[in-house]
Amino acid sequence: MPIIVIACSVFQSLLQQAFPPAVVKGFHFLDYGLHRVSSNLTRTIQETIDAIPEPSLVVLGYGLCGNGLNGIQAGKHNLLIPRADDCIAILLGSYEKYQEEFHSEPGTYYLTKGWLESGSNPLSEFLEYQKKYGTRKAEFLIDSLYHNYHRLAFVAHDRADLDQYRPQAQEVARFCARWGMRYEEILGSTAYLARLVDLALASGHSDDGFLRIPPGGTLRQELFLRY
């Protein structure tokens, strides 16, 4: 069965390198910013899936992403997706690692290169609000949104990304110091995506870190939850 990859741009370089050339029939890397409105993410992914002509194994480089993946229909395809809440678990390497980070500091704002690229971070939001509403209102807004956070954690799965995006991340960190947020870098791991690739190539064993949806099936929020 042909393999088609549909993934967030945050995983582009990694997935392109991880799949042996010529194995994947098509890569679709979707815009970083789609997660901002989850219905846009759902629609775009569904349209991309529906446009694939022949029955395929569709590998989704996403998590549940704020319910953006809730309701995605497999149609005539098989779907394979990490059973992750969002890209943070995938970048950190596992669900367990995410839980560990999550519980160590609930008030963490996770920064990724995707969020830097798409302008989804406190600094770029402030600048956007400033343009739209003026400084006083923008400050009020940004404080309302972020005053509960204590840590800014820049997460990447490899050192090269950390190095490349560090100046931007630190600029955000300087801004976030207004709420006393401390800055940390977390070097994640490629392990989660490597397992995804192995599974897609049928060389790995399925485990509860992934979901497989057969033709006619639907991705539902419940499948992602662990409780």
Q: Which residues bind another protein (CB under 8 A)?
A: 37-40, 64, 66-67, 70, 85, 98-99, 102-103, 106-107, 129, 132-133, 137, 140-141, 144-145, 148-149, 220-222, 224-227
**Residue 1 vs 225, nearer CB to another protein:** 225
Strand order in the sheet with 108-111: 108-111, 151-156, 182-187
**Residue 166 vs 178, nearer CB to another protein:** 178
CB of 74 to another protein, least distance (A): 18
**Residue 203 vs 227, nearer CB to another protein:** 227
CB of 141 to another protein, least distance (A): 5
**Residue 202 vs 225, nearer CB to another protein:** 225
Please say whether the beta carbons of 28 and 5 come within 8 A: yes
Please say whether the beta carbons of 72 and 45 come within 8 A: yes
Nearest CA-CA partner of 51 in 76, 34, 22: 76
CB of 27 to another protein, least distance (A): 27
Q: Which residues contact 11 (CB under 8 A, 6 or more apart)?
A: 29, 61, 87, 90, 193
Please say whether the beta carbons of 82 and 192 come within 8 A: yes
CB of 126 to another protein, least distance (A): 11
